[in-house]
Each structure stands twice: as structure tokens, then as C-alpha cells.
Structure 1
Amino acid sequence: MTPASLPRTPSFRLDGRRALVTGASSGIGLGAAAALAAAGAHVVCAARGRERLADVVRAIGAEGGKAEAIAFDIADIAAMRDAIGGLEPFDIYVNSAGTARHGPALETQVADFDSVSAINWRAAHFSAAEVARGMIARGRGGSIVTISSQMGHVGGVDRSVYAASKHALEGMTKAMAIEWAPHAIRVNTICPTFIRTPLTEQTFANPERTRWITEKIKLGRVGEIEDIMGAVVFLASDAAALITGTSLLIDGGWTAG
């Protein structure tokens, strides 16, 4: 075999591609935006807070990346559609917008159930559809990645509503992947374990809960935002060209048993 006959690794680069990241002002969404920009994508950073988004765009620009900001509430479906529909179609969509209201199932309030469902599932569904509509009209496919959770595959104490919303995302992803495959649109989820972000600060403030978490994670440590960034680039890139309708678990072995 000559060197010229060796197979070539597909590129992880995203030069010339447009990406939309929701929940981009902090946490995993911020990490996703930074990772995509570093890989060459032009990133549209979306969240509710204009000032924090402006800081993100400046930081990406300072690192040589290309980014812009757009502020909207993803739970407001009409506003979300107006915002996304008014933009040039995307090649990549990473939805990292999410929320959590944990508590015993017997004490779940209707308002908490509705709030988690509206952001974690309902908004995820309609925003993915809006981005896919643009991808289909343009006719060159794309990659849609939703930040789900290991709780989309297992259960957890005080997490009946949160786990339900993430299980819903997993089913939604499989269905969308089948439906949009003829348009070369890939649809997947990333399912992290507990990651240190502003959303998990309250959990890690509890020593007993932190000890339980680290005991469940087989690698013996909680996750950091950097643990997610490579997976985002991978699923967005040509290196994942045959991957759709599935989930990438980044859980340190939590769900292995």
C-alpha cells in the first residue's frame, strides 16, 4: 500500500459555515460558541441578555473568531421564529438553552413543570424545526445538536420533571433525524453528566450531593465545560457525516452501570 492510497480523515474544520448557538451567554452554550468559532465557523450567539452576549462576541473576536449576537427568548415561539426566520440559513444549530427546577415528584408545582417543559422541550422542538426549514430551503443539509443530559437516559432523585424533559428530547431527536435525513440534515444530542456551570452552582453547593455525584461518575470527577466543546465540533463537522438520530454521552461512565 502506498501512502497515496491511505484513507483521509474527514476534516473537523468548519470554515465557511454558519452556526447558531442558543444559550450562548454562559455555561455549555458559551463553550459551544467558542469551540465552533475556533474551528472556523461564523457563530451567531443567541440568548436573552444583550450585554452578556456582547461580551461573548467581543471575547470570540479577540481570539480571532467570527461572531455576532442576537437576543431573543427561545421560549417565546413567535419571537424565536421572527428572529431565526429573518437570518440567513445556518449549517449548524447547537441548542444549549435549558433550565431546571428540581424537587420531589410529590411536590412538583404546575408552574415549574410548565417552565421546564417550555424551554427544555417545547422550545427545542420549534427552534430545531425553524432552523431545519432554512436548511431545507437552501438545500445543502446541516447538523442540529441539542444539549440534552445523561438524565435523558436514566432517572435521578428530585429530577422527575427535568429527566422527563430530557427523555422527550431523545425521542424528538430520533424522529427528526428520520424525517430530515432525506435533506442531509443530521440531528443528534450531547448528553453531559453534571458540568460546572452557573446552572449547577446550587447542586455543587451541597457537599452531600456533590459526594453522591462524584461517586456515580466512574472517572471520579465532575465535568467541565471544556469536556463538551470537542464533541460539539465533532458532531457539527464532516467527521460525523454518518452520525444521526443518536446521543453522545459525556458522563464519565455514569450510565455504564
Structure 2
Amino acid sequence: MGDVKDGAATRTAMVTGASTGLGRAIALALAREGFDLAVTDIEAGWLTELLSHPDLAGRRVVPVSLELRSEASIREAFARASGEVGPLGLLVNNAARALHRPAVEVSWDEWDEVLDVNLKGGFFLSAFLARACIAEARPGSVVNIASTHGLVGLAERSVYGISKGGIIQMTRMLAIEWAAQGIRVNAVAPATVMTPSRQQILADPRRREAMLARIPSGRFPTEEEVAAAVCYLASPGAASITGQVLVLDGGLTAA
């Protein structure tokens, strides 16, 4: 899919929440794999540091402002990404809101914010990709970033975990609906990854050790491992994989 450069097809992708953490690592890994990219965040200016990274050299990379709580913003961001990068073949739904709060203290607005960003926005952005692929009779791929919080219970993570559980089921439902059109939908579900935001949350050694003790391998997955999983699911080698959740958790959910 995409233009032909140097005898090889140039692949195109949109990565949400790409300014930092997992989104940044995923965008860089895809660029190294030969993808041209639309990278998004709430403010396009947040992507400035990413755009100067040497791994993006030689790739077409377009920063796009995207507010996943707004239908109009989703529509405009997808149109801009498609117009400037080319017909999109891959969507990585990475952007997410976290919430660490006892269930009895969660407000109505907090519920809406987490579910709107983590689940609703990703659903409608995926629909835009599928609509374009179906109209143009070409294949496509969606990779959703889920979490082990969507697979197992954990106190004070209820809303976040519910949103990630919804992503996992969304992955299955859309995979079945779009399989005949050649659109694959998969998810990656990591345990806690030591992104900059997680490093702040787990700065307390006792809290960090408590999270680490849940993982049989004794280590957190890395940003690069999650990015590699996304690249695999987007690759020709995964052509028969759809509706699946690739869990990167060091054995947490097997215990």
C-alpha cells in the first residue's frame, strides 16, 4: 500500500498519542520499518521533539492535532493524515487516559473522559480507517494498545481497566466484522511499562516493588518490546492474525 519508492511499497500509518511513551516508541519503530507516518497528540506542538529524531530521517512524517473526545476532531485529523501522508494502511490506537482512583470516588466526568478517549475515540477512528479501505478495496490493519488491566482485576484501576477490557472486546468484534474486507484488527496488552509517566507514578520503591511482584518474570516489559509487537502485527508475517490479543506481561496473566 502507498507509493513505490526504491522498488518497495511505502507503508503508511497513523499513531495516536505519539509525543511520548509508548506512542513515541511505536512511531519510531514503524519509521525504521519503512512506514510514512501521521503522528498525533492533543497539541501538534507536543510532537516537535519526536519530529527531530534521527530515526525519522527520510520518512514522510506529519504532525496532527487530535482530540479523541471530539467527533469533528477525529474526522478532520483523519482527513489531514490521509491527505498529507497518503491512504492510510495502519492505525495504532495508542492514546489513553489513566485513572488511579477508588471506584466509589470516581466522578461522572472522570468516567466519561477515560472511556471517551480510551474506547470511544479509538472505535470511531478505526471506523474511519475501515470506511476508507472498504471504499478503495484495499487491505488495512488496526493495532489497539490494550493492557493487562483489561484482563485481570486490580484495585483502584476500575475505570481504566474497564476501558481496556472494552478495547479487547472491540478488537474481536471489529476483526470479525471486517475480516472479509481484508482489514485485520489486533491488540497488544502489556503489563506496566516504565514510560516517563509510569516512572513518576511508581517513584515510591514500595509501590514499584508491589507492582513488580505480580510479574513472574520479575521485570516490566519495555517500550521497545511493545513497539516490536506492534510492528509484527502490522507486518506481512502476521497476515493470518486477526482478532487476537498479544499479551506482554512476563507471565502475569498465566499465574
1:48 aligns with 2:42: yes
The alignment covers a number of residue pairs equal to 244
CA deviation after TM superposition for structure 1 residue 69, in Å: 1.2
Q: What's the secondary structure of 1:216's corresponding residue?
A: coil
RMSD: 1.6
Partner of 2:185: 187
Q: CA offsets per residue over residues 173-198 of structure 1, 9 Å max, x none?
A: 11100100011000011101101113
| Change beyond 3 A, Cα 1:224–1:169 | same
CA deviation after TM superposition for structure 1 residue 64, in Å: 4.1
Q: What's the secondary structure of 1:102's corresponding residue?
A: coil
Partner of 1:221: 219
1:156 aligns with 2:154: yes
| Change beyond 3 A, Cα 1:249–1:26 | same
Partner of 1:173: 171
Q: CA offsets per residue over residues 135-178 of structure 1, 9 Å max, x none?
A: 11221111100111011111111111111111111111111001
CA deviation after TM superposition for structure 1 residue 110, in Å: 1.3
Give the Cα separation in 2 of the matches to 1:61 and 1:223.
22
TM-score normalized by structure 1? 0.90
Is this contact kept in 1: 2:68–2:116, CA < 8 A? no
Is this contact kept in 2: 1:47–1:70, CA < 8 A? yes
CA deviation after TM superposition for structure 1 residue 60, in Å: 4.8
Is this contact kept in 2: 1:23–1:46, CA < 8 A? yes
Q: What's the secondary structure of 1:243's corresponding residue?
A: coil
Q: Which AA in structure 2 matches 1:75?
A: R
Which of 224, 232, 235 is equivalent to 2:233?
235
1:209 aligns with 2:207: yes
Q: Which AA in structure 1 matches 2:98?
A: A
What 5-or-longer segments of structure 2 have no aligned partner?
Answer: 1-7
| Change beyond 3 A, Cα 1:155–1:79 | same
Give the Cα separation in 2 of the matches to 1:25 and 1:83.
16
| Change beyond 3 A, Cα 1:60–1:236 | farther
Larger deviation, residues 34-43 vs 210-219: 210-219
Larger deviation, residues 105-114 vs 28-37: 105-114
Partner of 2:18: 24
Which of 15, 34, 40 is equivalent to 2:28?
34
Larger deviation, residues 138-147 vs 71-80: 71-80
